[in-house]
Amino acid sequence: MVLTPPFEPMLAQAAEYVPGSGVLASGFAAEQKFDGHRAILFTPAGPGGRLLLQTRRGSLVHDRFPDLVAAAEQLPDGLVLDGELVVWDTEAGQLSFEALQRRAAARSRTATALAAKTPAFFIAFDLLQQDGQELLARPYAERRALLENLFSEHALTAPWTLCPMTTDLAKAWEWLQSWTDVSGVEGILIKPLTSRYLPGYRGWTKIRRRDTTETIVGAITGTLTRPQLLASAATTRTAGCVRSAAPYRCARRRHGRLPSTSPRPPPGTRGRACASRRRGGVVTSWTPPSSTPAWWPRSAPTGPSTAAASSATRCASSGCAWT
């Protein structure tokens, strides 16, 4: 079977912490999760064809990324890759989700102009078809080996990037702790080494980092059960008391009810405000001061580790690098 668009990608379910070594005893891979747009890339079956770029929802958007189309000559025919679209802001010197959104909405001349200012990169994390032969039934470990061989054999360079992967739980824990300080990296993906690629199925686990801080809630708008805005003050060692007002997404909206462990934030009380990096520091949840961040592992990882399959692709044209 030859894969063609529209194609439904495999999905991930959200989790709040890294599973323990016992849960992952059968073997796993951890990949860095970038804050971009999911995309499926199709190269032509033969000469004269063109590269196609499909979104998660099935829309074709290759006309909005002419820089990727121009670089398609590096890729062999009959190839299908699953990955993440990201954009590098040359002025800011970092990945930019806002610039990616602008590029995704651009057409014609605007798309070409934006490509020069904010170049796009395709971070590949799965190989679904090679030489016209689909690989969905192959285990993840085999598909990953073929993907790494594709990059080395064809000496692929920017804008094609190999997603960093490790089978070392300690390394995955380190990524979640430190790499998420980098703009554009929001967490990790956990994938069983033996898993097949199942379109539409949530067989992977995604873990996003969320930072917490002590805050004093002074007032809210909306109701206590469904607050809309928090007026809060946070005390820091260097800046003293910092005041802010930010939209608040109630736990009831995410889970259908307020968990008993997360009481409503009454005005004038202390608690922890959890801010998502992708939302630019916007408060998205609140927990009492006795709680610890839900996403953080409860203990250091234990057990044997295996050598990580590492990749270091440097984007010479933009100065960005992932290791």
Q: Which residues are the active-site residues?
A: 33
Paired strand residues for 161: 123
SS (H, E, C) 26-86: CCEEEEEEECCEEEEEECCCCCCCCCEEEECCCCECHHHCHHHHHHHHHCCCCCEEEEEEE
Phi, psi (rounded to 5 degrees) for 174: -65, -40
The candidate with the shortest Cα–Cα distance to 265, out of 246, 242, 238, is 246
> Helices (H) and strands (E) in the chain — how many of each?
6, 19
Between CA 33 and CA 205 the distance in angstroms is 11
Sign of the torsion formed by the C-alpha atoms of 137, 141, 142 and 147: positive
Run of H or E including 99: helix 97-105
Residue 143 backbone dihedrals phi, psi, to 5 degrees = -65, -40
Q: Are strands 165-166 and 28-34 parallel, antiparallel or unpaired?
A: antiparallel
Kindly state the tokens that stand for 167.
Answer: 């089978």
Q: Give me the amino acid identity at 109.
A: R
Contacts of 275 (CB under 8 A, 6+ apart): 210, 211, 212, 213, 246, 281, 282, 283, 284
From the number of C-beta atoms within 10 Å of its C-beta (0-12, 13-18, 19+), residue 22 rates as exposed
CB 58 within 8 A of CB 208: no
Is the bond into 6 cis (omega within 30 degrees of 0)? yes
